[in-house]
Amino acid sequence: SSDLMAEDSTPLFIHTHPGGKAVFSRHDDAVDASLRAALRGMGGDGRYVSLVVAGTQDQTAVAGRHFIQDDATPVDKLRIVGHRIRVIVLTPGAALPSKETFDRQIRVFGPAGQEILAALNVAVVGAGGTGSATAEQLTRLGVGTITIIDDDIVTDPTPTRGYGMTVADIGRPKAEVLAGHLRKTGLPTTVVSVTAPIQSAVARHMLGSADIAFSCVDGHGARLVLNRWAYAHLAPVVDLAVLVSADVSTTAVTGVDGRVTWLAPDP
């Protein structure tokens, strides 16, 4: 309906080719063109997604394309939410870097596992001691895209905890400094930095394309935003926290505690 278009939603049309191939036929082209014209008449902005599911129950194949007006680009992956969250790469080999670079990981995950990592878009919220370490490891794992979101700057204590952050960076945005550090690895990960609070429109927009988010924040306000994001986008959030306790009177460390919380929608 026109109300749906007013909500800035993207229409999605799915049809099947039982026992057939996951390719768009001329008839599919005509149907998509007709539906796009009808949606524009309802107030749509020209965005439209078409999927075809083919093959058999035991061996399913999927193809997809995303239209903006009359320009179509292939859908490169699908995220399926159920009792477990699955990522299916629709363009095998497109995002996979050289096997030599990630040889040790491919031995563990297999080529398909490394291919999924290379297709992932991951958001890291918080670029401090925990967030910078997380982003560093994700880059070295070969994740395809990392979006770093943090509105803070590097201060005097930051270089003792933040990966890639030096005394010369004091006063610069943490997200920007960390992104520059990760790019220097020369690995194929695309790194995007966003210097803005998680509640801002620009941060929410960048989160919209993430497949998974790592929460590396101190405040519960940011965790609340990510909690709602997990349910709105049907994607998981991994919340990480480390607490170092000390006795001020004796300057002795009394404990180091870590917490990992997996947050995901319950289908």
Give the model's pLDDT for residue 92. 66
* Helices 129-141 & 174-183 angle (0-180, nearest 10): 30
- Decide: 214 and 131 in contact? Cβ < 8 Å: yes
Structure-token match 């917490």, residue found: 259
pLDDT in tens, 15-43: 999 999 999 999 999 999 999 999 888 87
- Whether 240 shows a pLDDT value over 70: the answer reads yes
pLDDT tens-digit readout, 178-195: 999 999 999 999 999 999
Residue 5 has pLDDT above 60, yes or no: no
Residue 193 vs residues 131, 190, 196, 209, 241: alpha-carbon distances, Å: 13, 10, 9, 14, 21
User: Is 75:51 a contact under the CB 8 Å cutoff?
Assistant: yes
